[in-house]
Amino acid sequence: MAGIGYWGSKRVQSESDFFLGGEKLPGWALALSERSSDMSGWLLLGLPGLAWAAGLSSVWIIVGAGGGAIFQWVVYSRPFMEGRKETGAVTPVGLIAEKLPGDSATIRALPALVTFIFFMGYVGSQFLAGGTIFKDVFGVSATVGLVIIAVMIIVYSFAGGFLAVVWTDAMQALLMIFTLIALPGMLLVQVVTDPTLSIMGTLEASGGGRASWFGGATGSAALLVLGANLSWFFATLGGYPHLDARLMALRSESDRKMGIIVSSVWGILTAIGAILLGLLARTLHGSPSTFEANREMVLPFMVMEHTPGLLSGILLAGALAAMMSTADSQLIVASSAAAHDVYNKILNEGKEFSESARLRISRIGTLVVGGVGLTIAYLTENLVYTLVSYSATGLFSAFGPAFTLLFFWGDNLSKHGVIAAFLAGPLTTIGWITFGMTDIVTVRLVAPPVGFAAAIAASLIWPRSKQTAAKPESSAAAQD
């Protein structure tokens, strides 16, 4: 990771390079980076644990999340790529602001604030996850592991920016494929060739509806199970800015098509492997106390139980890789919101910076944001997990409506519509979770539609000014 960060630092010459790669990245690398950043530790730690606990019904969450990811690449990648080329924007927040007439401070400040607050929880949680993996697997202090992982991510992100992050993510994505194909494949052969073992037989014997595609639920309850899992589809409708940045960075239509193929194949293979690993864990080991205490230990347990030492180390590195690929991506996007959208475009509006000054500000922003994430993770673990509980839906209930309507509702989306989405979506998320309503109906089925409705209603009430001319190509675009 450090080596790639150093390599990337030698190729970063501008703010555009640092935050968006400066059209120096191939489509396949952006696709691997986007997928590994999205699925991350959830794919390697969370999903096998869910499959072990819930059984066949866990498949639906992959249908929702994976289907949404493919849909995003097919439908959203072109407008993100073309929007960046049209405006010269170097951040997702900047793309929203520069596609709307006026480029007001509010349109930059509010999305930047939402990005920063929620991503700090995400970044902090990934740092904590790294510390936990070090503690559970290697027996060292969780604090030591947290600091090692955080410093490593901050250093290579600081040095190489988006270029280093994408290339490290691509390498991590390949390692994650190895972890989720080599191990489940080997164990599946063991189960299939042993007549005393049966995945379906084990699921049926374990009870709890694990052999049912809907967890044993029927009627309206089955629909709620299906809806709750498929609701992850909303997340990938332009709803995560760290994924949007990968789509913005695409260079050409051929790169976009390659990205669609690579992201789809990677997503399908790794999802099958993760689900299969959880089902195989129950088939081979039942319900050991390790899983009962923490189901996210399924992958580390299976790795150490079924592979020799050297291979175990390589496969366990996949779990660390998954966590790092999310943290570095979110760190870069959060720092881009702070350094570019707030410091450069709002606090120093109208002031011209040299390219070297822009790059220096970008790196300082990354260092500061990373330091904030590390401090939050170290001092306030409860705050981290509180922010994370809101973060996913809070982000995609705001960014999803904003980008979807910006791309596909054309000039009908107004500044007031964007503001409404970024207020209504996150506030609904926080309120719904705070008052315990998500135990009745998941917030993922509530907040995104509220964000869409608020954006549409506000745009109809306060439409765009018909007198505003189309924006000329920005100076950033000219520099690029």
The closest of 265, 300, 290, 276 to 184, measured between CA atoms, is: 276
pLDDT tens digit sequence for 178-210: 888 888 998 999 999 999 999 999 999 998 889
pLDDT in the model for residue 255 = 96
CB atoms within 10 A of CB 356: 11
* Measured distance CA(419)–CA(267) in Å, rounded: 33
| Amino acid, res. 120 | M
Contact 11, 163 (CB under 8 A): yes
Q: Which of 39-48, 87-96, 154-163, 228-237 has the highest mean pLDDT?
A: 87-96
User: What's the pTM value of the predicted model, to 2 decimals?
Assistant: 0.87
* Measured distance CA(262)–CA(27) in Å, rounded: 9
User: Would you call 347 exposed, middle or buried from its count of C-beta atoms within 10 A (0-12, 13-18, 19+)?
Assistant: exposed
**Res 470 pLDDT > 50:** no
**Ramachandran bin of 238, using left for φ above 0, alpha for ψ from -120 to 50, beta for the remaining angles:** left
Superfamily of domain 2-377: Sodium/glucose cotransporter (1.20.1730.10)
- 213: which residues sit within 8 A by CB, 6+ positions away? 56, 57, 59, 60
User: Would you call 436 exposed, middle or buried from its count of C-beta atoms within 10 A (0-12, 13-18, 19+)?
Assistant: exposed
Contact 144, 129 (CB under 8 A): no
Query: Given the structure tokens 């191939």, which residue do they identify?
Result: 26
Of residues 31 and 183, more confidence is placed in 31
SS3 assignment, position 369: helix
Given pLDDT bands bounded at 50, 70 and 90, which one contains residue 350? confident
- 250: which residues sit within 8 A by CB, 6+ positions away? 27, 30, 77, 80, 81, 256, 259
pLDDT in the model for residue 466 = 57
Contact 247, 80 (CB under 8 A): yes
Contact 98, 89 (CB under 8 A): yes
For the chain, what are the domain ranges?
Answer: 2-377
The closest of 418, 465, 367, 341 to 156, measured between CA atoms, is: 367
Phi first, then psi: what are they for 194, rounded to 5°?
Answer: -105, 110
**Res 480 pLDDT > 80:** no
First to last CA, the chain: 28
* Measured distance CA(138)–CA(140) in Å, rounded: 6
pLDDT in the model for residue 467 = 39
The closest of 38, 23, 112, 108 to 72, measured between CA atoms, is: 38
User: Would you call 410 exposed, middle or buried from its count of C-beta atoms within 10 A (0-12, 13-18, 19+)?
Assistant: exposed
pLDDT tens digit sequence for 384-396: 767 776 888 899 9
**Res 74 pLDDT > 50:** yes
Q: How far, CA to CA in Å, does 266 sit from each of 29, 32, 407, 426, 442?
A: 12, 8, 27, 31, 28
| Amino acid, res. 385 | Y
pLDDT tens digit sequence for 91-147: 999 999 999 877 678 899 999 999 988 888 778 887 887 787 778 777 888 888 888
The closest of 300, 249, 332 to 82, measured between CA atoms, is: 249
CB atoms within 10 A of CB 206: 16
The closest of 155, 131, 336 to 244, measured between CA atoms, is: 336
**Res 250 pLDDT > 90:** yes
* Measured distance CA(113)–CA(99) in Å, rounded: 19
